[in-house]
Structure 1
């Protein structure tokens, strides 16, 4: 692994952003065969806000790939202390979690935003929602995504369930119409099995590899960064 700013030495970012990424490391960088997406596998011992990750993706694109048709995607993982239970993690990570859900799947965002959180234990969370057809359809996906974020990204176990309660019929119909309208017009990319992070979309052109990351990437395949 290499330190983040050993790989991206040419980046100029704010003092705050540099401080947040200073002690993070990169295990590998991969490039799609069509050169449309650059994925950076980042490891951190502290939580990173969603807004900071998006700002760094944007900085990498604008300073190193401007004018190229390429998307920058930071795939973060956290190695947190044992003090982080699922309940504690949610308290600190709720804002970033909701921002990500809003970007990727508006229905999952609405479910987490509207539902009542019931912590039975520090690692057992139940989301209580009024019965709605669209929410019911997304139940399994919501559970999958939340568990993946907590357990795979953050290394914190969680038992997450969703419980539906009867809703007022008229209110339910109006809510379904509102959410359906939001969903159809949102253009959210959704989540894939490949990973959870969103990507910063670039502009038109073909990909190039400037500066210090030239040697870290091999065309069309994963390039692991060697140990120092």
Structure 2
């Protein structure tokens, strides 16, 4: 993610070219070869954010980097203010600061996604269908992102639905439809893989591993683990 502060840059990608001016925000997918062209006399000042994101492949099916920067002056101004807060937050190193930085990065990505969906050239019923499909896809991505970051915490369908401002039934239906498996199957997959890694590392016993992935009841954790892997958790310890 590149936010232009001063100067102008042209970024050449394998499938197009981006032009950024002061106040613009550009996206370059990870591991993408590109060349930055700018005037070395007048110079270029940018704020760059490097990050990994499990949802990146899905995100870039909806957002094309060559469609940036955002044309809306109002939205670009909102994003510039978010970048100002993001830059200020990097001066501190607490867990709360890091959480806030992640939240601001997500907000910027979602603002870009929203504008990309608004500017898709569709008409009539196609607009409604396309928006509905993308809305469902975005909802599923947001739910997955939350589960990826909070799987070790107590999570209920009602709580997650309230946070995403939808009904529990709708969230459950959309997640299953878009993922081909249920929301809590996905959560269980996350927890079991993490628990196995902890046990194989030998740093946690079974009770500690259970608590580390969100299970207060060690017996229930062992039951779920055995059903998932076919062996009791104690057999995973080195």
Q: TM-score range by the shorter chain?
A: under 0.3
- Structure with bigger helix share is 2
- Structure with bigger strand share is 1
**Structure of larger gyration radius:** 2
TM-score (norm 1): 0.25
